[in-house]
Amino acid sequence: MKYDVLVIGGGIAGIEASLTLGDAGFEVLLVEKDPSIGGHMIQLSKVFPTTDCAGCITTPKMAAAASHPKVHLMTYSEVKEVQKTGKEFRVKVLKKPRYVEEDLCIGCGRCEEVCPVLVPREFDYGIVGRKAVYIPFEMAVPKKAVLDLEHCMMCGRCERACPKDAINFLQEPEEVEITVKAIIVATGYNLFPPEKKKEYSYTGNLTLIHTNLNPNIIHSMQMERLLAPSRPYHALLRPGDGKVPERVAWVLCTGSRDKSLGNPLCSRVCCMYSVKQALLYTSAIPFGEAAIYYMDIRAFGKGFEEFYTMVRDLGVYFIRGKVARIESRNGNPVVIVEDTETGEIREDEYDMVVLSIGLLSNPELSEILGIDTNSYGFYVPPEENANPVATKVDGIFVAGTATCPKDIPDTVAEAAAAAAQCIAYLKEVGT
């Protein structure tokens, strides 16, 4: 199969780049490794500093990509091999088995209803469960079920319930060979695993009540899910016991600006998303108290400083200091910190603590594509500061958080830049 451009990664960067290229008349193949496009943005609650609903912005873009005559989606698929010969790239893509025939599935969810297995739901970072056969989330694109064979009991209930006979336990991985003229890499970021910061007592297992790990210490993406209009519970409840959290704290720079964890980089979005989450929390629980522990607030973008000041004026507490430890008292997290403005050592008890985790690189394709990364694993241009979307391979461009941590407006701007440079390149080499 031949396309003009291969876009790898179906987050907001990959979707924007694909739509720009498609609108310009180029045939685009968008390959996404997860069962749905949308990336991290579709999981967010609202976006700073405007507090617009993230899902309301992302869903129309996802639908536009799916229905665009020039954009072709290949989800649940991974790029395995890339070879440049002359002006063309020959690419092998592995389509993983869904065990559900994609062209037959109508996304009705009957298989999900009858499945007896419950495992942590990835989309909500384990706050609630999903079935062994499931639609990844309500607005998934494509809205097709996927069967997780690892947890399936092979009871056959989904097979009997499916009105379209779409369940196929015998499906095999499929290798697809394609040829393209250019590639845009938009593979985004990974989240810092909070359990690595041992002093903060995060438990990866929210149902596990352990002596020192506390299920009421959650990470910021879990908080995004709790605050989202599409949130798993209809009310904001803490995971440990379902109580309404009346005092919540955010601990900034968890896994960022921390040499001891090998990541001295600033993640650029944690200050602002924590300020946003504190605002959304106090709007959801008007009697709730919110506190933010910070080293300094980096409100660098348009309208960010005003947003931060507004939230501070609304009564959110800001305590300057790097949190030393988080302990537990009667099931409640206790934050231990030196307030660097007063010199006082504080022990503050909360109902829930949110770890504002940083953004790490996702360099998994650097070898396959033959493109360079910096020492932190983010893709880099051939010369430092030359052209942020170029790589050392002619015809391969990068966009979004694949190049460094950034917010959505910067991601979208970079995706447009990558698409524009890709168009210029395609005109040069001829399509």
Ligand X SMILES: Cc1cc2nc3c(=O)[nH]c(=O)nc-3n(C[C@H](O)[C@H](O)[C@H](O)COP(=O)(O)OP(=O)(O)OC[C@H]3O[C@@H](n4cnc5c(N)ncnc54)[C@H](O)[C@@H]3O)c2cc1C
Per CB under 6 A, 124 contacts ligand X: no
Between 186 and 319, CB nearer to ligand X: 186
Between 105 and 408, CB nearer to ligand X: 408
Task: Give the footprint of ligand X on residues 326-355 (CB under 6 A).
Answer: none
Between the two ends of the chain, the Cα-to-Cα distance in Å is 15
CA 2, chain centre distance (Å): 30
Considering only residues 22, 188, 288, 381, which one is a binding residue for ligand X as defined by CB under 6 A? 188
Per CB under 6 A, 276 contacts ligand X: yes
Three-state secondary structure call for residue 276 = helix
Site string for ligand X, 386-425 (x = CB under 6 A): --------------xx----xxx--x--------------
Element (H, E) at 253: strand 247-254
CB 54 within 8 A of CB 117: no
Per CB under 6 A, 271 contacts ligand X: no
Three-state secondary structure call for residue 45 = coil
Site string for ligand X, 282-311 (x = CB under 6 A): ------------------------------
Part of the chain binding ligand X (CB under 6 A), chosen from 87-95, 163-171, 216-224, 375-383: 216-224
Considering only residues 4, 6, 7, 9, which one is a binding residue for ligand X as defined by CB under 6 A? 9
CB 318 within 8 A of CB 299: no
CA distance 63 to 36: 11
Beta carbon of residue 165, minimum distance to ligand X (angstroms, whole number)? 29
Considering only residues 8, 62, 140, 146, which one is a binding residue for ligand X as defined by CB under 6 A? 8
Per CB under 6 A, 10 contacts ligand X: yes
Per CB under 6 A, 12 contacts ligand X: yes
Considering only residues 7, 17, 28, 41, which one is a binding residue for ligand X as defined by CB under 6 A? 41
CB 192 within 8 A of CB 360: yes
Give residues with Cβ within 8 angstroms of 143, minimum separation 6.
Answer: 36, 107, 135
Q: What totals of helices (H) and strands (E) does the chain contain, helices first?
A: 9, 24
Considering only residues 48, 89, 250, 378, which one is a binding residue for ligand X as defined by CB under 6 A? 48
**Residue recorded with tokens 């983010």:** 378
Per CB under 6 A, 40 contacts ligand X: yes
CA distance 182 to 192: 31
Helical spans, DSSP H, in 286-391: 304-313, 366-369
Considering only residues 28, 31, 62, 426, which one is a binding residue for ligand X as defined by CB under 6 A? 31
Considering only residues 187, 203, 256, 263, which one is a binding residue for ligand X as defined by CB under 6 A? 187
Instruction: Compute the radius of gyration of the chain from its Cα atoms.
Output: 23
Part of the chain binding ligand X (CB under 6 A), chosen from 6-14, 207-215, 314-322, 386-394: 6-14
Beta carbon of residue 53, minimum distance to ligand X (angstroms, whole number)? 11
Between 126 and 334, CB nearer to ligand X: 126
Per CB under 6 A, 192 contacts ligand X: no
Q: Would the CA dihedral through 102, 108, 113, 118 be positive or negative?
A: positive
Beta carbon of residue 8, minimum distance to ligand X (angstroms, whole number)? 5
Part of the chain binding ligand X (CB under 6 A), chosen from 39-47, 156-164, 304-312, 385-393: 39-47
Between 209 and 310, CB nearer to ligand X: 310
Between 238 and 268, CB nearer to ligand X: 268
CA distance 274 to 256: 14
CA distance 288 to 278: 10
Structure tokens belonging to residue 342: 């007063």
Other C-beta atoms lying within 10 Å of the C-beta of residue 277:
25
Please provide the size of the chain in residues.
431
Between 61 and 157, CB nearer to ligand X: 61
Considering only residues 4, 27, 32, 351, which one is a binding residue for ligand X as defined by CB under 6 A? 32
How big is the CA angle at 355 (ends 358 and 221), to the nearest 5 degrees?
A: 70
Residues pairing with 85 in the sheet: 88
Between 75 and 216, CB nearer to ligand X: 75
CB 175 within 8 A of CB 404: no
The residues that touch ligand X, with contacts defined as CB under 6 A, are 8-14, 31-34, 39-41, 44, 47-48, 78-79, 186-189, 220-221, 224, 269, 273, 276, 362, 364-365, 400-401, 406-408, 411
